[in-house]
Chain A
């Protein structure tokens, strides 16, 4: 079975061991081997790209070089890491001049970008390496009474020219992967709009309004929970509900679960093993529905 270098980034190990835990348990159950490599750094996401785009691309390339040397493709859990690394990987593979320029920089640390590996999002590994049919076969606890609102976030899909995860306006990969678990994937307005996560600390009101918009529209659509793919989206929507409560006096009680948590539950992982207690909005209503 296939092996991947797992790229954790910063936010997941610092704030969301629940994401890592559920992703590792899921991939172990599905026979995907994960390798933890030495020396990965921050992927240099938008906040660092805003400081220096060239530095960010070179650091992303450095991280890709580490996986190239180990002969492994990368799986990223965080949308931000996926975007930074997959964008750099695609841009450097496509543009020889850029590659030569970045390689001059990487020579200072004894690395050379060769373009020999793929950077994949967690969802792509599930879809491409395992597949919907195999996942369906492995489900022991179907989420059949659960209405789930999938929330892609921005950097799983866009810029699609470089990321190529799915159609940026009408994606289906997440919906199909939810339905493979027996859940109902719920449609809601503005599904593909931003969670506001990157505006925190810069324009807090706008950030919170964007998060609130998701809560309003998924509630209206009758969702039992929102499912996320990114630690920033998770924080914006989970902890965000406490901020929405204090600012707008509105209570949504909308559980937020990473897709990795939902699939782990469907594959029969004991909820007690999943750190669901670390969520600010408790997942109890979801667990009752699938019990």
Chain B
């Protein structure tokens, strides 16, 4: 059991979410739907609706929220958060839900790649020899060393774990 899972074992799901970094504002939602009507993804994909994700979280539908695809479809544009009349920090809330889902073993495989790169290089995009050479040709200064060691210490101190890949790709 992770640190967070131990702490939250006997909590209701909405309490678990509000106890998390980013999830604090969940219970302020009064389901007006301003978020859904501001969402560029909801307009294109009916399987994503931020109001619905909040409703299910408030109703304690933990399994449906954490194992479903919906929480991963937010494009993090912050339109909803900007417009929410109740100041629900919806995009942050979705990060909190993703953090919980990930600890429970649910996440699209791409996050495992991001985490691997971050841990190994201190960057989430690898810099190729080709681009380094191009930089030199353009007269750009050589890249400075990356603080990978400090970064990894911070990741360990905050319980960052690399999500495992699952066979079924979401």
A residues lining the B interface (CB < 8 Å) = 8, 10-11, 13-15, 17, 20-21, 24, 36-42, 44-55, 57-59, 62, 66, 105-106, 108-109, 111, 154-155, 158-160, 168-169, 190, 192-194, 196-199, 201-203, 206-207, 209-210, 275
Contact = CB atoms under 8 A, between A and B. Distances in A.
Nearest to A231: B125
Given A50-B111, A198-B76, 17 more contacts: A24-B140, A40-B144, A42-B118, A50-B98, A51-B98, A51-B102, A51-B163, A52-B158, A52-B160, A57-B21, A62-B150, A109-B154, A159-B82, A192-B79, A201-B110, A206-B45, A275-B134
A120 B41 CA distance: 29
A10 B99 contact: no
A62 B151 contact: yes
Given A10-B123, A10-B125, A14-B131, A39 B150 contact: yes
A168 B159 CA distance: 34
B95 A209 contact: no
B135 interface: yes
A14 B127 contact: yes
B78 A17 contact: no
A17 B140 contact: yes
Given A52-B99, A154-B77, A13 B154 contact: no
23 contacts: A8-B143, A17-B131, A24-B140, A38-B147, A39-B144, A39-B150, A40-B146, A40-B147, A41-B123, A42-B123, A42-B124, A51-B98, A51-B160, A52-B99, A52-B160, A55-B160, A57-B21, A58-B157, A62-B151, A155-B78, A158-B82, A159-B78, A194-B77
Interface string B118-152: 10001111111001001100111101111110110
Contact of A105 (B89, B131, B140, B154): B154
A288 to B, nearest CB: 23
Nearest to A163: B78
Given A158-B82, A159-B91, A17 B135 contact: yes
Given A20-B140, A40-B146, A53-B99, A15 B131 contact: yes
Contacts of A51: 98-99, 102, 107, 111, 114-115, 160, 163
Contacts of A8: 143
Nearest to A169: B82
Contact of A54 (B21, B102, B145): B21
A275 B138 contact: yes
A46 B124 CA distance: 11
A275 B138 CA distance: 8
B72 interface: yes
B125 A48 contact: no
B52 interface: no
Given A11-B125, A50-B98, A203-B73, A62 B154 contact: yes
Contacts of B20: 53
Given A21-B138, A50-B99, A108-B154, A41 B40 contact: no
Contact of B131 (A13, A109, A168, A169): A13
Closest 10 CB pairs of A and B: A39-B147, A158-B78, A194-B77, A55-B158, A14-B125, A55-B160, A10-B123, A10-B125, A109-B150, A154-B77
B57 interface: no
B77 A158 contact: yes
Contacts of A37: 144
B81 to A, nearest CB: 6
A209 B158 CA distance: 37
Contacts of B146: 39-41
B144 A38 contact: yes
Given A11-B125, A54-B158, A202-B72, A62 B147 contact: yes
A143 to B, nearest CB: 23
Contacts of B108: 201-202
A47 B154 contact: no
Contacts of B155: 52, 55, 59
Contact of A108 (B75, B125, B127, B157): B157
B9 interface: no
A40 B150 CA distance: 10
Contacts of B95: 46, 49-50, 53
